[in-house]
Structure 1
Amino acid sequence: MNTRSIFRIADVELDVERYELRRGGVQIPLERQPMELLIMMALRHEQLVTRADIARSLWGGSAFRETDNGINTAIRKIRVALGESPEQPEYLVTVKGKGYRLNVTPSDGEEVASLPGDALRMLVLPFSNHTTNRGFEPFCDALADEISAAIGAMNPAHVLVIARTTAAQYRTITHGIADIGRHLSLDYILEGSVAIDGTQMRILTQLVRCVDQVQVWSAAYEPASQGHFDICRELRAAFATDVMSALTASGLHPLNRRSPINPAAHDDWLRGRFYWTRRVHFDAGFAAHHALGDEDFVRARAYFESAVERDPTYALGYVGLSNVFGSTAAHGFYPPKDGYPRAREAALHALQLDANLPEAHQALAGVHYFYDWDWRRAEDEFLEALRINPSHAETSRLYARLLLVQGRDAEGRAQFERAERADPIGFEGSRVFGLVQSGQYDEAIAEYCLHEGRAHSPLVHQLVATAFEIRGLYEEAVEATVEALFCSNAFARAEKIREAWDAGGYREVLQWYLRDLTARAAEGYISPFLFAELYARLAQPEPMFRWLEASLAERSPRMCELKTNPWFRRFRSMGRFRSVEKRIGL
């Protein structure tokens, strides 16, 4: 490591080589422009950096007025990250009328030690199809997925493999290795290609170090197998073993992940997963409350059903069906009795086919959690899934919610952060979810404001809207809700909410919600828990308790998180409310 690339600013370390800002070994999030400005000032070694210097470096010397605002914003975000006051700055000092000076201490030959168990971060990019046949695209995806899973299972304490949801965002490469590495805080990227020479398939791959784009390992494979998924079975262990040998010589474990039998079934599963993973950007309560559609669920279910029709022994297909059956009930499209018994049946069938499939254990854990309210059995299944695949982001995120319900806040937040590290795009918002669920509303708002201007998932806007409302920042809550609805293409509903706000403030917004729920309930199923939440927000305990009783009677899935649901915080000291919690098992 080039130790001169590490600077200390109070209790913060700036690692230029890794493009990271850390406190106590924990990375501090900072956007690109503030980070570039911080690095530029650190490298000047406490010299004055003028605003003209900053404009030239970050904006090419643009004379537009937005440059001043951009500099001010970048300086403010740096100070927030460093934890110092702009009124009495000690390290990032304003030289009035001139610019700024950063007081830093370079690392003089002193290595910054890695924390025990600090894993390397790695991404397996989708393999490029260099054949003339577009029909090879699913095989390229499947090969990359299998290699990613194999490497992730071998030594998770040493190598953290970023999930396929995130990798899929880079299917068509428009970023360089360095850019992707900085964006996802990666150490290595594995990329590859598939080509056909006559009748022989040839697979080329290389492992690239992100910090300097040096190729540290490469290989060419000409598989002896014929079928696509026989090739996957043949190559996954070879790839994983060779890659891990390039990174570490210890802790290798045997690979026993089952390959699908039918390539068409696996292709259907991949397509179903595409629609399924889009649902993680929506909180179930927000989606049901605002009548966001079930199109993604419908499409995902159709592909998963096709997968098990093509191959009745394909366990992942049944996992997909279990996920859909459970989530459609959790999102309020159907009564729980119409979804969770089928979710349980599908998960158990998947486990009969493959008892070592982490996704199947996670699916069964979801049934125990949301429908059975059996915390012990749910935790057992979560832990089994994470034992088999410690990098399974979906399991970490759902397990975190159970931990918060049980009052194990530190463990829960750690699991949320683990999910976001393992899959930062597919599970963006996991950390904010944990902050809101554990009642840390100010922290959630601060993190949101720190990254203002970034394109967030709808989930982040939804969560911060809740935090704003709890803190009485009603105008901000409306704007965050509208932003979430815009991201969800629910433009008409967003305008209705703005009209209600303009007409009578936040109380009128809540009353409009109630009228809307009542009208929809006259036409079809609406979860009674949505009414309970709304009456809690309106501070009307009598109708709230009536709807909670109805929710208990139907085993509404979101009742399991009554203890961490922010809308009910003001009622938790009431004996009647504690009685409801006891009946759930909390």
Structure 2
Amino acid sequence: MPTDRIIRFADFELDVERYQLRRAGEQIRLERLPMDLLILLASRHGELISRADIVDRLWHGNPYRDTENGINTAIRKIRIALADDPLKPRHLVTVKGKGYRLDGANFVSTASADAIDPSETPRSHSAVRVLVLPFANLTGDGNQECLCSALADEISATLGALGPDRLRLIARTTAARYRDTAKGIGEIARELKLDYVLEGSLSREGPRARILTRLIRCADEVQIWSRAHEPVSPGALDMLKEVATALAQDLATTLSEQQRSRLARRLPVDPAAHDAYVRGRYFWYRRVHFDAAFCAHHGIDGEDFARSRGYFETALERDPNYALGYAGLSNYYGASVVHGMFSPDDGWPIARALAHSALELDPDLPEAHHALAAVRYFFEWDWARAEAGFKEALRRNPSYPEAHRLYARLLLSAGRRAEGEVEMARAERIDPLAFQGSRAFGMILSGRHEEVVSDYLSPGHMDYSPLAYQVLATAFEVRKLYAQAVDATVEALVRCNLHARAATIRAQWDAGGYDAVLHWYRDDLLARHRSQYTSPLLIAEIYARLAQPDEMFHWLDAALAERSARLCELRMNPWFQPYRPGGRMRKIEQLIGEGRAH
């Protein structure tokens, strides 16, 4: 059906698909809720909308929200944006006791609106944001759940590679959070700032499978496209490829030869192997999005990493030629080292070999390029080749958030702050749920500790992710806000179910202040070092925090000898900042950074 993309009234222009309000060509800033309400009013073509209808559409009838004040505030902000006098309104009219309507609008329809064609989106505009929800299993067979997961996964990966500057797929880790959710499309769209949601279902009639997909425009929750597909191929793998290809060609009617080649070339994967990989990636993501330094320092266990390894190994048992399985295992070994569970020599050489195996099986696999780039960044300290590897991964899949995030760390480490912050922001936009706290993490890497603190202490701050509290603990200590540093540390540990450790740190603070806390940290690390692998970099950090440079440099030399993980980010490490002007620290930085990209 046609859609109203541009709605004009007086000298205003509401671009629904770009989510912009403009006046005489100049964009007018409007917060999300007022914008959603304005689009809703405009989409009714001048019809009256009751307050109950607004509550139902924008809050889904949630009785626990303060919808009365919410509507009043949104209406007031819309009137301010439209320069509309509430006593003599020209555009937004209140019908007392009934509701609201938008008058005087001229609706301009666009052609070919029943498909997303990325080629029609100007490069100067933002990419269209799409979420592929997990497919519903309507077969009555629980064994088909892995196929439903693989369907959404395959379609998301396929569409994400089509038009990186025009079509932005929200990452599958975020999509998985909405499996079996009671939330409606509108609420999901508001949370993730989406333009479209693609949802689907799998059903069977005898031996025939039927896949139904539909595309929802989030601005007004209208279904603008749907297809029922009955694959002719009997194999589950062929069905995945066939549906993904058909859907991509349907949604993007003008594909380049390169895009057609990408669609035609899909790896032979047993769906059960792919399902195991997706599950492994979920647990790997869940742990890797914690602050590695905090995890290693507090000995947060690697249960999630261990579970991810089991799933990746299962994937390779099902299909020994599955390149993604090798890439996943490479990530496991590398991230386990960074989080302090293995020594570099016990992890990185294996990670490197696995990444090479993945590349041999599929030279175009973004995850394989990312895995090898991580080895070159964290272990080999070859910044030029690491940067090239991250760029290769992102060229093949610009919607790959982990590649953006790790590339951001390299850029920040290389002193290219502006570029690094842009990459970190891209990662969070693509995968906002998995990357909660990434902005604060990036600010810490950039040395913007005061901004992190002021953001947290500003009025109205809400609940944060464990990563954010871990980062806040660092920021507060750097700013000498020791009571807050203890609070953030305790909160982070409680969220990691380390209640006993959190209570001990609180007791140390109560008994002797922050100096007692730091000395307890030192004793704890040295005791662990005697019984199990503990990164010498962690011990160097605690001596730096205790202002004991002789011991600090002793352990830094040991870290340099083993090529400790995170040593590549020495220049960004806040604990060593007071010692950077000295010649000894500059020499260490030079040894680490000889291969640094410029």
Range into which the TM-score falls when normalised by the shorter chain: 0.7 to 0.9
* Compared CA separation, residues 37 and 185, structure 1 to 2 (3 A): closer
Q: Distance in 2 between matches of 1:378 and 1:302?
A: 28
Q: Distance in 2 between matches of 1:7 and 1:183?
A: 30
1:551 aligns with 2:539: no
Q: Give the TM-score taking structure 1 as reference length.
A: 0.83
Q: Distance in 2 between matches of 1:473 and 1:525?
A: 31
Question: Is the 2:202–2:211 Cα contact (8 Å) retained in structure 1?
Answer: yes
Instruction: Give secondary structure in 2 for the equivalent of 1:215.
Output: strand
| 1:244 shift after superposition | 2.4
| 1:261 shift after superposition | 2.8
1:278 aligns with 2:299: no
Match of 1:169 among 170, 177, 184: 177
Instruction: Give secondary structure in 2 for the equivalent of 1:413.
Output: helix
Q: Deviations over 1:259-292 (max 9, x none)?
A: 3432332222122112111113311110010110
Instruction: Give secondary structure in 1 for the equivalent of 2:406.
Output: helix
Within a 5 Å distance, the mapping from 1:373-412 to structure 2 comes to 373-412=381-420
Question: Is the 1:194–1:204 Cα contact (8 Å) retained in structure 2?
Answer: yes
Instruction: Give secondary structure in 2 for the equivalent of 1:240.
Output: helix
Match of 2:514 among 495, 506, 513: 506
**Counterpart position of 1:211:** 219
Q: Deviations over 1:56-105 (max 9, x none)?
A: x999xxxx9x99xx999x99xx9xxxxxxxxxxxxxxxxxxxx9999545
Q: Distance in 1 between matches of 2:477 and 2:8?
A: 46
**Counterpart position of 2:438:** 430
Q: Distance in 2 between matches of 1:339 and 1:575?
A: 32
**Counterpart position of 2:248:** 240
Q: Distance in 2 between matches of 1:344 and 1:264?
A: 26
AA paired with 1:382? F
Range 517-526 or range 147-156, more displaced = 517-526
Question: Is the 1:181–1:187 Cα contact (8 Å) retained in structure 2?
Answer: yes
Match of 1:253 among 249, 253, 259: 259
Q: Distance in 1 between matches of 2:29 and 2:434?
A: 20
1:522 aligns with 2:533: no
Q: Distance in 1 between matches of 2:399 and 2:348?
A: 26
Q: Distance in 2 between matches of 1:199 and 1:115?
A: 45
AA paired with 1:350? A
Query: Which structure 1 segments of 5+ residues have no match?
Result: 44-52, 79-98
Q: Distance in 1 between matches of 2:380 and 2:489?
A: 32
Q: Deviations over 1:163-187 (max 9, x none)?
A: 0000000111311111000010000
Question: Is the 2:543–2:552 Cα contact (8 Å) retained in structure 1?
Answer: yes
Q: Distance in 2 between matches of 1:552 and 1:6?
A: 67
1:122 aligns with 2:130: yes
Q: Distance in 1 between matches of 2:294 and 2:156?
A: 33
Question: Is the 1:436–1:463 Cα contact (8 Å) retained in structure 2?
Answer: yes
AA paired with 2:357? H
Question: Is the 1:7–1:105 Cα contact (8 Å) retained in structure 2?
Answer: no
AA paired with 2:140? T
Match of 1:343 among 351, 356, 363: 351
Range 198-207 or range 302-311, more displaced = 302-311
* Compared CA separation, residues 16 and 258, structure 1 to 2 (3 A): closer
Instruction: Give secondary structure in 2 for the equivalent of 1:567.
Output: helix
Instruction: Give secondary structure in 1 for the equivalent of 2:433.
Output: coil
Question: Is the 1:6–1:16 Cα contact (8 Å) retained in structure 2?
Answer: no
* Compared CA separation, residues 289 and 224, structure 1 to 2 (3 A): same
**Counterpart position of 2:118:** none
**Counterpart position of 1:447:** 455
| 1:518 shift after superposition | 1.4
Instruction: Give secondary structure in 2 for the equivalent of 1:563.
Output: helix
Question: Is the 1:281–1:458 Cα contact (8 Å) retained in structure 2?
Answer: no
Q: Deviations over 1:225-261 (max 9, x none)?
A: 111111011111111111223xx78898222452343
Question: Is the 2:272–2:318 Cα contact (8 Å) retained in structure 1?
Answer: yes
Q: Give the TM-score taking structure 2 as reference length.
A: 0.81
* Compared CA separation, residues 188 and 289, structure 1 to 2 (3 A): same
**Counterpart position of 1:200:** 208
**Counterpart position of 1:323:** 331
1:365 aligns with 2:373: yes
| 1:115 shift after superposition | 7.7
**Counterpart position of 2:318:** 310
**Counterpart position of 1:560:** 568
1:481 aligns with 2:489: yes
Q: Distance in 2 between matches of 1:572 and 1:143?
A: 51
Q: Deviations over 1:342-382 (max 9, x none)?
A: 00000000000000000000000000000000001101110
Q: Deviations over 1:508-566 (max 9, x none)?
A: 11111111111111211110000111111112211111110000000101100001111
Where has structure 1 moved over 3 Å in runs of 4 or more?
A: 1-8, 13-22, 24-30, 35-40, 99-111, 248-252, 446-455
Q: Distance in 1 between matches of 2:270 and 2:401?
A: 26
**Counterpart position of 1:88:** none
Instruction: Give secondary structure in 1 for the equivalent of 2:571.
Output: coil
Question: Is the 2:30–2:78 Cα contact (8 Å) retained in structure 1?
Answer: no
AA paired with 1:342? I
* Compared CA separation, residues 452 and 557, structure 1 to 2 (3 A): farther
Q: Distance in 1 between matches of 2:510 and 2:392?
A: 51
| 1:465 shift after superposition | 1.5
* Compared CA separation, residues 446 and 103, structure 1 to 2 (3 A): farther
| 1:114 shift after superposition | 8.3
| 1:123 shift after superposition | 0.2
AA paired with 2:218? C
AA paired with 1:293? D
Question: Is the 1:206–1:219 Cα contact (8 Å) retained in structure 2?
Answer: yes
Instruction: Give secondary structure in 1 for the equivalent of 2:252.
Output: helix
Instruction: Give secondary structure in 1 for the equivalent of 2:165.
Output: coil
Q: CA RMSD in A?
A: 3.7
Instruction: Give secondary structure in 2 for the equivalent of 1:394.
Output: helix
AA paired with 1:274? Y
